[in-house]
């Protein structure tokens, strides 16, 4: 069980820490990367040695966050995770980090894998917590840090469209613009720019979309054959995940993504009162009420669909 920390206690931990390693989750998104690189840059401004490890390749649209960052080798004394609710989200790298000293997270289903944890489920993004921590330790928020934090917040809120967006979220975003975040450029990069391959990928996903459970559940599947045929990547698969929920009347939208190693990663998006985290939890995953995920291993596509359908039905029964 993790020792829960307050903002002040977490700031004190960071101020005392030396030779820090920051871990992001596998299949990295804008929040884990934005939080990680913002924290790295902020701690380095205080003269600390810090490096970041991402278990998977960083998507090209987020790669700018690592610009001009060089690493030196040292044995880390403090290992910190950002936006990671479960150590399993480190993927194949999980076994390399049996001890995590601090988890900074905004998932209410955090599995208490770290020695200490600073968790604020009310935050729309982990980047909100990093913003507060950097201010608490008096680290300057440079334009580069503001870009990282804005990335985390904007991508986790769907450019401030999702129900997790709060008044505090908007206040922090406004502050980040004052610190130099390039909001218009970043919004275009994340929400208005797509590769040509994506449109073929989206068409194929739409052709496979099925609406079930009296119009309340929509599901599609992305197979490795589809990836290969149109040259799509995992980053584009994340964009597909929002589509099933967009069907009128749908409360639960799901996308099954076939992994190279086998099995399926499931992305769930819901509208109230359906709870995405509750569905994911039934299958060993987790997340937020409106967005969550899980893995279905050792199953064919049809078997995975059936397993997922049963979990969705349990959630919809009471609605």
The DSSP annotation for 74-120 comes to: ---SEEEEES-SSGGGGGGGGGG-S--SEEEE--TT----SSEEEE-
For helices 126-136 and 7-16, what crossing angle results, to 10°? Answer: 70
pLDDT of 226 above 90: yes
The per-residue pLDDT for 318 is 83
CA distance 102 to 15: 13
Please report, in angstroms and rounded to a whole number, the separation of the first and last CA atoms in the chain: 34
DSSP conformation letters of 55-76: SSPPPGGGGGGGTT--------
Asked which of 99-108, 139-148, 227-236 is least confident by mean pLDDT, the reply is: 227-236
Q: How many helices (H) and strands (E) does the chain have?
A: 11, 12
pLDDT band at 92 (very low <50, low <70, confident <90, very high): confident
In a shared domain, residues 18 and 65: yes
Is 282 in the same domain as 306?
yes
Domain boundary among 138, 162, 191: 191
40/151 same-domain check: yes
Write the pLDDT tens digit of every residue in 8-62. 999 999 999 999 999 999 989 999 999 999 999 999 999 999 999 999 999 999 9
In this structure, the chain runs to a length of 319
Provide mean pLDDT across the span 261-269: 94
Overall domain count for the chain? 2
Cα 143 to Cα 310: distance, rounded to the nearest angstrom = 47
Q: Do residues 171 and 48 share a domain?
A: yes
Residues 171 and 308 both lie in one domain:
no
208 and 300 in a single domain? The answer is yes
| Phi, psi (degrees; rounded to nearest 5) at 139 | -85, 135
49/116 same-domain check: yes
| Residue 207 sits in the same domain as residue 187 | no
DSSP state for residue 25 in the 8-state scheme = -
Label residues 85-109 b or e (16+ Cβ within 10 Å = b): bbbbbbeebbeebeebbbbbbbbeb
> Residues 274-294: what's their mean pLDDT?
93
**Which range, of 181-185, 195-199, 286-290, averages the lowest pLDDT?**
286-290
Please give the residue range of the domain that contains residue 216: 196-316
- Tell me what the mean pLDDT of segment 300-318 comes to: 97
Rounded distance between C-alpha atoms, residue 305 and residue 266, angstroms: 10
The predicted pLDDT at position 119 comes to 98
% of the chain at pLDDT higher than 70: 100
CATH number of the domain that residue 52 is part of: 3.90.1640.10
The answer to whether residues 260 and 229 touch, using CB atoms and an 8 Å cutoff, is no
More confident residue, 102 or 261: 102
pLDDT digits (tens, 9 = 90+) for 111-157: 999 999 999 999 999 999 999 999 999 999 999 999 999 999 999 99
Calculate mean pLDDT across residues 274-288: 93
Domain's final residue, options 163, 191, 219: 191
Greatest Cα pair distance, the chain, in angstroms, is 59
Instruction: State yes or no: cis peptide before 273, omega within 30 of 0.
Output: yes
pLDDT averaged over the chain? 96
Q: Give the DSSP letter of residue 4.
A: E
Given pLDDT bands bounded at 50, 70 and 90, which one contains residue 236? confident
Based on the fold, state whether residues 44 and 172 are members of the same structural domain: yes
CB atoms under 10 Å from CB of 200, counted, come to: 16
Mean pLDDT of the region 183-198? 95
Q: Find all residues with CB under 8 Å of 178, minimum gap 6, and list them.
A: none
CATH of the domain at 206: 3.10.310.30
Q: Are both 63 and 136 inside the same structural domain? A: yes
């Amino acid at each position: 069980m993790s020792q829960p920390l307050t903002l002040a206690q977490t700031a004190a931990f960071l101020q005392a820490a030396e030779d820090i390693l920051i871990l992001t989750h596998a299949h990295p998104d804008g929040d884990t990367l934005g939080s990680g690189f913002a924290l790295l840059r902020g701690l380095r401004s205080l003269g600390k040695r810090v490096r970041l490890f991402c278990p998977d390749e960083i998507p090209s649209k987020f790669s700018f966050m690592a610009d001009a960052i060089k690493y030196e080798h040292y044995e880390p004394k403090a290992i910190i995770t950002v936006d990671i609710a479960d150590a399993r989200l480190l993927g194949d790298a999980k076994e390399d980090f049996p001890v995590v000293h601090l988890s900074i997270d905004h998932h209410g289903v955090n599995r208490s894998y770290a020695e200490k944890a600073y968790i604020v489920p009310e935050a729309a993004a982990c980047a909100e917590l990093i913003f507060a921590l950097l201010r608490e330790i008096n680290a300057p928020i440079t334009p580069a840090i503001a870009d990282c934090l804005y990335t985390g917040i904007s991508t986790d809120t769907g450019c401030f469209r999702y129900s997790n967006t709060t008044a505090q979220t908007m206040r922090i975003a406004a502050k980040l613009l004052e610190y130099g975040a390039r909001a218009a450029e970043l919004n275009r990069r994340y929400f208005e720019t797509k590769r040509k391959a994506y449109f073929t990928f989206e068409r194929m996903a739409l052709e496979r979309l099925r609406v079930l459970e009296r119009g309340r559940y929509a599901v599609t599947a992305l197979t490795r054959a589809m990836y290969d045929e149109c040259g799509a990547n995992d980053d584009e698969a994340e964009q597909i995940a929002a589509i099933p929920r967009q069907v009128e009347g749908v409360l639960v939208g799901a996308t099954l993504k076939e992994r190279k190693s086998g099995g399926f990663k499931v992305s769930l998006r819901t509208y109230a009162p359906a709870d995405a985290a509750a569905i994911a939890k039934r299958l060993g995953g987790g997340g937020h009420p409106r967005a969550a995920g899980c893995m279905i291993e050792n199953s064919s596509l049809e078997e995975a669909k059936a397993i997922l359908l049963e979990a969705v039905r349990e959630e919809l029964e009471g609605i």
